[in-house]
Amino acid sequence: MVIVQGAAPPVDEAAPRRIGLLRWGLLRRLLLSRLYPTAFQVVGVGFLGLLLYFSFFGTLRAGQNFSTTVTWILWWSLLPWSYLLLGRVWCAVCPIGSLSEWAQRLGGWGRRLPGAFLKRYSLWLMAVTFLFLTWADRVWNVTGSPRATGILLALVLGGSLAMGFLYQRRAWCRFLCPIGAFSGLYSMASSLELRTIPEACKGCAGKECYSGSEKAAGCPFYQFPATMDTNRNCSICANCVKTCPRGAIDLFFRPPGRELWALRHPLPGEAFLAVLLVSVVYLQTINMTTAFPVFMKWLVESTPLGTYELALTATFAGFIGLVLVLYLLASLLAGRTGGEGFGFGFSRFAYAYIPLALAGHLAHNLFHLLMEGPAALQAALDQLGWRLAPVAETSIDAGLMTFTSVTMVLLGLGGSVYFLVRTGNAHAVKGWRTALPHLALVLVLGALYLQMFILPMNPRHSH
């Protein structure tokens, strides 16, 4: 069979196969078009310009500033949902990565490939940066300050441009971007994946999907689609779809989270990041509750810490340190129980914590989106001169909001438990019993999440 660019992928008559989404003509034409993702990137760059302008020249009231409302209430609230539904597609249209890529092409920059240091330590660097930014937001109120938001955006843009000057393709996005710290992990739980079709790909010696051709550039994340079995570093930019001469690359739906228990190559850096995520999501959310300021007041007044900054730092460090210690202990016990060793317990079972972290993150952001989103959208449009009729105060039943959040956490907790049982049965000599220490820790963390979402919440900004 001759397979042409843009044609529907071949079907193996001997075995049932998932139906590729690129069989749908409209979607296939979109991904093969030069407008994708360029048109979305242009729009994103325009929005980035507006964000920077209003950050430095707009009102200082965060609840009325275009930059803070769009960045932290609308975009930030929707971002985790995009990972769940569409994988890492945001990275394909991100204006910061796009500007670096365009500057690289125009200036002839970025001749080198990233070295061993970035490849070995990038996950740890992103995790530390993400943790620092989380702490800095709480201490310096970045999300509540238009100027601080603008400085953060400018710093990230500068880092991206600097990496584009030094290295080929999107080295910043792949190895150092703070958002990349969790985008790769969350996209592994996505219901969408881009993969090659082995029988159509077999025998191809051109490797255009990696190196690029006159039709499109090579993979910006240094991935070779023929061997790719994870969403970690795939932005669904469709460069490989455009350059593949055989039409051997397609999009598929899959059960959310399936990749996590089928993962072939667990990484210690990702394991650390997964545990860090479940801790940070808890801290970010408990910080929103009405009980947290009371606790912080008591901590400042009743302990030698003395200041809010020290008390908050101690709280963050104490909780994250406790979870990490418990995780290390669970990994040690799991390794001994199964006879596979500490490394197995540490790396393999860490991915079970991602469904719980993602569920907590989605519930957290849903509160912002539903409770603050309408007023934030109106404030943003007002800044652009698009006056709308006043939006009434959002009134969502507190009981319904709590029920929705708790339901989402229970679904995430169920996914984590399912992962542990299935992974233990698939990879451990003693089956699911090997996962018991991690199962106990996941249930404890799940109980903390559930108790947290029952507490009353405060909004981020006052509108």
Q: Which of 256, 442, 233 is nearest to 349 (CA)?
A: 442
Give me Rg for the CA atoms of the chain. 23
pTM for the whole structure: 0.90
Output the six-digit token pair for 187.
């996209």
Task: Give the model's confidence band at 2: pLDDT under 50 very low, under 70 low, under 90 confident, else very high.
Answer: very low
Q: What is the mean pLDDT of residues 411-416?
A: 96
C-alpha distance from residue 374 to each of 148, 364, 378 (Å): 23, 17, 6
pLDDT at residue 9 above 80? no
Task: Give the model's confidence band at 3: pLDDT under 50 very low, under 70 low, under 90 confident, else very high.
Answer: very low
pLDDT at residue 7 above 70? no
The percentage of residues in the chain with a pLDDT greater than 70, rounded to a whole number, is 92
Task: Give the model's confidence band at 429: pLDDT under 50 very low, under 70 low, under 90 confident, else very high.
Answer: low
Q: Which is more confident, 204 or 65?
A: 65
439 by DSSP, 3-state: which? helix
Q: Report the range out of 139-148, 378-387, 416-425 with the highest average pLDDT.
A: 139-148
pLDDT at residue 394 above 90? no
pLDDT at residue 393 above 60? no
Tokens 């800044």, residue located: 383
Strand-pair partners of 192: 253
pLDDT at residue 108 above 60? yes
Q: pLDDT tens across 155-209, in order?
A: 999 999 999 999 999 999 999 998 988 899 999 999 999 999 888 887 787 788 8
Q: Residue 247's pLDDT is what?
A: 86
